[in-house]
Every structure is written in C-alpha cells, then in structure tokens.
Amino acid sequence: MSKEKTIKMRVMMTLMNPEDYFNDLVEDGYSVHDALVAIMEGELVHAELAHMFPDGYMDEGHEDLGDGYYEVTLDEDFHNDDEKDKDEDGLERELIASDEDMAHA
C-alpha cells in the first residue's frame, strides 16, 4: 500500500504582464523558445531570492552566468544583518559562481 503526502504551497508570480514581456522579447529577436526560457528563468531567480530573503529584498536585476548560475545585484539599501541564509537542512545557500565557473560563462 502506497502512502501519499499532500503539501500546500503558495506560488507568487513576480512578473506582471508576461504576454507583453514575451512579445517584446520576440520583437527583439528572441526565438519563442528563448523568450519562454528567459521568462521562466527570471521567475525561478525571483522565487529563489524570496526563499533566501523571506523578509523581502529589492533587486536591481540579474545576469545569467551560464550553467544555472546567476549574479543578482541587490538594492544598495538592502541589509541582511550579516547573517548567512540557510535552507531547511542548515546548509548555506549562495547564488554566486566561482572564478572557474565565471571563466566558462
């Protein structure tokens, strides 16, 4: 007999008017695939930031460094009380790449 587990989660999309953004990307020369990927990756970055900083954050944008790494610029007024963010297992979470990873980007 299999056991089931039900979880509830709240999902919040940060992008307003995704169809306008999509159309802008396509007009700028993105393929449909690349436009959809750009939108999904942007939403994933914001979901990760919301998880890392549950009390809020203000980002000035993010840059794709390749291989799933992103560099995020936080607003200069943002403070995190010098505490390291940890996931549920107590492991530190960072959204940065090593010099070696950046060299491949």
DSSP state of 10: -
**Predicted confidence band at 19 (pLDDT cuts at 50, 70, 90)?**
very high
Angle at CA 29, nearest 5°, toward 23 and 30?
Answer: 70
pTM of the model: 0.58
Tens of pLDDT, residues 51-86: 887 777 777 778 888 887 888 888 766 655 544 455
Residues 27, 41, 66, 31, CA torsion sign: negative
pLDDT over 60 at 16, yes or no? yes
Distance CA 3, CA 15 (A): 36
3-class DSSP state of 12:
coil
* Length, in residues, of the chain: 105
3-class DSSP state of 93:
coil
**Predicted confidence band at 104 (pLDDT cuts at 50, 70, 90)?**
low
